[in-house]
Structure 1
Amino acid sequence: MTEPSGETAPEASEDLAHEDVAPSAAPGTPEDAETSEPSEAPETTPETPAAAGTPEGAEGAAPELSEAQAELAAQRELRARIEARKAEKGGPVASGAKLSGAAADLLAAVRAVEGGSASGGAFFEPAPEPARPARPAETTVRPPAPAAPPAPTAGALAGVREVLARGGAPEALAGPVAAALGEQAAEALTEDPWRLLAVAGVRPEQADGFARALLGGACGPGDPRRAVALTVWLLDRAALQGHTALPLDEVRAGLARHQVPAPEKAVETAISEGAVLVFQEEDGPADGAPEEAAEDEDTAGPEEGPSEPPLLGLDRYALAEESLADGLARLVRTVTAEEWDGEELERAVGGHGLVLHTGGEASRAEPLALAAAARERGLRVLVTVHDAERLSEEERAAGTAVPLAALLSGTAGPGRDEEGLLALDLLVVLDAPQVDVETGAMLVEALPDGCRLVLSGDPAVLGAAGPGAVLADALAARVCPRVVSRRPDPGPIGELVSGIGIGELNQVEAPGKEVVIVPVRDAGEAVHRTVQLVAESVPRAFGLGPEQTRVITVGHGGSAGTRALNAALKQRLNPGPGRFGGYDPGDRVAYAPVPGRTVSGTVLGADADGLRLRTAEGEVVVPKERVESALRHGWALTAHQAAGGRWPAVVVVLPGDAAPGLSRPWVYTAFGRAERHLSVVHGVDQALPRAVAEVPAPARTTRLRPLLAGLLAVPGEE
Structure 2
Amino acid sequence: MSTEPESTDGGEPETTGAGEPESTGGGEPETRGAETQGADVSEAAAELAAQRIERERIERRKAERAGPVEAGGKLSGTAADLLAAVRAVESGAKPAATVFEEPPPRRPAPEPVRRQQPLADSSPAAPEAQLVAAVGLVLGEGGAPETLAAQAAAALGEGADDLLRSDPWQLLRVAGVRPEQADGFARALLGAESGPDDDRRGRAVTVWLLEQAALAGHTALEMPALVAALAQRAVPDPDAAVQSALAEGDALAFQDGLEEPDEREDGEEGEEDEERPVRVLVGLERYALAEESLADGLARLINSVPKEDGPAEEWERAATAAGGSAAELIRAVAGHGLVLHTGGEASRAEAAVLVDAARGMGLRVWAATHGPLGRQRLSALVRDDSGIATVTGLLSGAEGPGRDREGALDLDLLVVLDAPQLDVETAALLTESLPDGARLVLAGDPSVLWSVGPGRVFADLLAARRCPQVASRRPDPGPLGELVSGVGAGELLQVNASDKEVVIVPVRDAGEAVHRTVQLVADSVPRAIGVPAEQTVVVTPGHGGAAGTRALNAALKERLNPGPGRFGGFDPGDRIAYSPAPGRTVPGQVVGADAEGLRLTCAGAPVVVPKEQVEQCVRHGWALTAHQAVGGRWPAVVVVLPGDAAQALSRPWVYTAFGRAERHLSVVHGVEQALPRAVAEVAAKPRTTRLPLLLTAQETAAG
Category of TM-score, reference length = shorter chain: 0.7 to 0.9
The yes-or-no answer on 1:149 pairing with 2:149 is no
The SS at the match of 1:278 is strand
The yes-or-no answer on 1:200 pairing with 2:175 is yes
Identity of aligned residues (%): 64
Structure-to-structure mapping, 1:572-651, within 5 angstroms: 572-616=559-603, 618-651=605-638
Return closer, same or farther for 1:72/1:168 CA change in 2, 3 Å cut-off. Answer: same
Q: 1:69 aligned to 45, 48, 51, which one?
A: 45
Contact 2:17 2:647 in 1 (8 A): no
Could you tell me which residue of structure 2 aligns to residue 688 of structure 1? 675
Give the Cα–Cα distance (whole angstroms) in 2 for the partners of residues 201 and 184 of structure 1: 22
- Once the two structures are superposed, residues 76-127 of structure 1 have per-residue CA deviations (whole angstroms, 9 ceiling, x without a partner) of 444555554248xxxxxxxxxxxxxxxxxxxxxxxxxxxxxxxxxxxxxxxx
Give the Cα–Cα distance (whole angstroms) in 2 for the partners of residues 165 and 657 of structure 1: 40
Deviation at 1:713, TM superposition (A): 3.9
Deviation at 1:66, TM superposition (A): 3.3
Contact 1:556 1:563 in 2 (8 A): yes
Give the Cα–Cα distance (whole angstroms) in 1 for the partners of residues 398 and 171 of structure 2: 35
Q: 2:357 aligned to 342, 356, 373, which one?
A: 373
- Once the two structures are superposed, residues 350-395 of structure 1 have per-residue CA deviations (whole angstroms, 9 ceiling, x without a partner) of 1110000111111111111111100011000011111211333666
Could you tell me which residue of structure 2 aligns to residue 326 of structure 1? 296
The SS at the match of 1:420 is coil
Contact 1:32 1:657 in 2 (8 A): yes
Contact 2:25 2:584 in 1 (8 A): no
Could you tell me which residue of structure 1 aligns to residue 6 of structure 2? 13
Could you tell me which residue of structure 1 aligns to residue 26 of structure 2? 44
Could you tell me which residue of structure 2 aligns to residue 453 of structure 1? 440
Return closer, same or farther for 1:183/1:600 CA change in 2, 3 Å cut-off. Answer: farther
The yes-or-no answer on 1:363 pairing with 2:347 is yes
Matched positions, count: 622
In angstroms, what is the RMSD of aligned CA positions? 2.8
Q: 1:565 aligned to 529, 552, 555, which one?
A: 552
Give the Cα–Cα distance (whole angstroms) in 1 for the partners of residues 486 and 476 of structure 2: 11
User: What runs of 5+ residues in structure 2 fail to find an aligned partner?
Assistant: 29-37, 64-116, 320-326
Give the Cα–Cα distance (whole angstroms) in 2 for the partners of residues 159 and 613 of structure 1: 37
- Tell me which amino acid in the other structure corresponds to 1:641: Q
Return closer, same or farther for 1:154/1:401 CA change in 2, 3 Å cut-off. Answer: same
Could you tell me which residue of structure 1 aligns to residue 654 of structure 2? 667
Q: 1:336 aligned to 296, 306, 330, which one?
A: 306
Q: 1:314 aligned to 279, 284, 289, which one?
A: 284
Contact 2:373 2:631 in 1 (8 A): no
- Tell me which amino acid in the other structure corresponds to 1:42: T
- Once the two structures are superposed, residues 629-671 of structure 1 have per-residue CA deviations (whole angstroms, 9 ceiling, x without a partner) of 2221111111111111111111000000000000011101100
Contact 2:626 2:653 in 1 (8 A): yes
User: What runs of 5+ residues in structure 1 fail to find an aligned partner?
Assistant: 4-10, 19-26, 47-61, 88-141
Deviation at 1:301, TM superposition (A): 7.9
Could you tell me which residue of structure 2 aligns to residue 354 of structure 1? 338
- Tell me which amino acid in the other structure corresponds to 2:413: L
- Tell me which amino acid in the other structure corresponds to 1:628: E
- Once the two structures are superposed, residues 203-244 of structure 1 have per-residue CA deviations (whole angstroms, 9 ceiling, x without a partner) of 111111111111111111011111111011111111111110
Give the Cα–Cα distance (whole angstroms) in 2 for the partners of residues 70 and 613 of structure 1: 20
Could you tell me which residue of structure 1 aligns to residue 375 of structure 2? 391
Contact 1:228 1:269 in 2 (8 A): yes
Could you tell me which residue of structure 2 aligns to residue 527 of structure 1? 514
Could you tell me which residue of structure 2 aligns to residue 415 of structure 1? 402
Deviation at 1:43, TM superposition (A): 4.9
Give the Cα–Cα distance (whole angstroms) in 2 for the partners of residues 396 and 546 of structure 1: 31
Return closer, same or farther for 1:532/1:185 CA change in 2, 3 Å cut-off. Answer: same
Contact 1:649 1:678 in 2 (8 A): yes
The SS at the match of 2:256 is coil
Give the Cα–Cα distance (whole angstroms) in 1 for the partners of residues 536 and 17 of structure 2: 26
Could you tell me which residue of structure 2 aligns to residue 255 of structure 1? 230
Give the Cα–Cα distance (whole angstroms) in 1 for the partners of residues 372 and 596 of structure 2: 24
The SS at the match of 1:309 is strand
Deviation at 1:147, TM superposition (A): 2.4
The SS at the match of 1:391 is helix
Q: 1:434 aligned to 409, 421, 429, which one?
A: 421
Contact 1:654 1:680 in 2 (8 A): yes
The SS at the match of 1:321 is helix
- Once the two structures are superposed, residues 135-162 of structure 1 have per-residue CA deviations (whole angstroms, 9 ceiling, x without a partner) of xxxxxxx995452111222112211211
Give the Cα–Cα distance (whole angstroms) in 1 for the partners of residues 346 and 669 of structure 2: 27
The SS at the match of 2:600 is strand
Deviation at 1:45, TM superposition (A): 8.4
Q: TM-score, normalised by structure 1?
A: 0.82
Contact 2:514 2:547 in 1 (8 A): yes
Contact 1:349 1:355 in 2 (8 A): yes
- Once the two structures are superposed, residues 19-71 of structure 1 have per-residue CA deviations (whole angstroms, 9 ceiling, x without a partner) of xxxxxxxx86867475576xx4635289xxxxxxxxxxxxxxx9732333211
Return closer, same or farther for 1:207/1:611 CA change in 2, 3 Å cut-off. Answer: same
Give the Cα–Cα distance (whole angstroms) in 1 for the partners of residues 198 and 471 of structure 2: 53
Return closer, same or farther for 1:476/1:713 CA change in 2, 3 Å cut-off. Answer: farther
Give the Cα–Cα distance (whole angstroms) in 2 for the partners of residues 272 and 197 of structure 1: 19
Contact 1:31 1:657 in 2 (8 A): yes
Deviation at 1:330, TM superposition (A): 1.6
Deviation at 1:307, TM superposition (A): 3.2
- Tell me which amino acid in the other structure corresponds to 2:653: W
Deviation at 1:459, TM superposition (A): 0.6
Deviation at 1:556, TM superposition (A): 0.8
Q: 2:390 aligned to 389, 403, 408, which one?
A: 403
Give the Cα–Cα distance (whole angstroms) in 2 for the partners of residues 252 and 354 of structure 1: 38
- Once the two structures are superposed, residues 230-264 of structure 1 have per-residue CA deviations (whole angstroms, 9 ceiling, x without a partner) of 01111111111111001111111111011111001
Contact 1:157 1:178 in 2 (8 A): yes
Return closer, same or farther for 1:65/1:241 CA change in 2, 3 Å cut-off. Answer: same
The yes-or-no answer on 1:226 pairing with 2:201 is yes
Structure 1 window deviating more from structure 2 (612-621 vs 691-700): it is 612-621
- Tell me which amino acid in the other structure corresponds to 1:152: P
Structure 1 window deviating more from structure 2 (706-715 vs 460-469): it is 706-715
The SS at the match of 1:14 is coil
The SS at the match of 1:589 is strand
Q: TM-score, normalised by structure 2?
A: 0.83
Contact 1:29 1:685 in 2 (8 A): no
- Tell me which amino acid in the other structure corresponds to 2:346: A
Return closer, same or farther for 1:35/1:323 CA change in 2, 3 Å cut-off. Answer: farther
The SS at the match of 1:336 is coil
Deviation at 1:334, TM superposition (A): 3.0
- Once the two structures are superposed, residues 330-364 of structure 1 have per-residue CA deviations (whole angstroms, 9 ceiling, x without a partner) of 22233337643111111111111000011111111
- Once the two structures are superposed, residues 156-191 of structure 1 have per-residue CA deviations (whole angstroms, 9 ceiling, x without a partner) of 221121111111111221222122112422222112
The SS at the match of 1:598 is strand
Contact 1:611 1:622 in 2 (8 A): yes
Deviation at 1:299, TM superposition (A): 7.3
Give the Cα–Cα distance (whole angstroms) in 1 for the partners of residues 12 and 153 of structure 2: 46
The SS at the match of 1:373 is helix
Deviation at 1:625, TM superposition (A): 2.0
Return closer, same or farther for 1:527/1:381 CA change in 2, 3 Å cut-off. Answer: same
The SS at the match of 1:281 is strand
Contact 1:283 1:305 in 2 (8 A): no
Return closer, same or farther for 1:625/1:305 CA change in 2, 3 Å cut-off. Answer: farther
Return closer, same or farther for 1:219/1:229 CA change in 2, 3 Å cut-off. Answer: same
Structure-to-structure mapping, 1:94-133, within 5 angstroms: none
Structure 1 window deviating more from structure 2 (335-344 vs 199-208): it is 335-344
Deviation at 1:422, TM superposition (A): 0.9
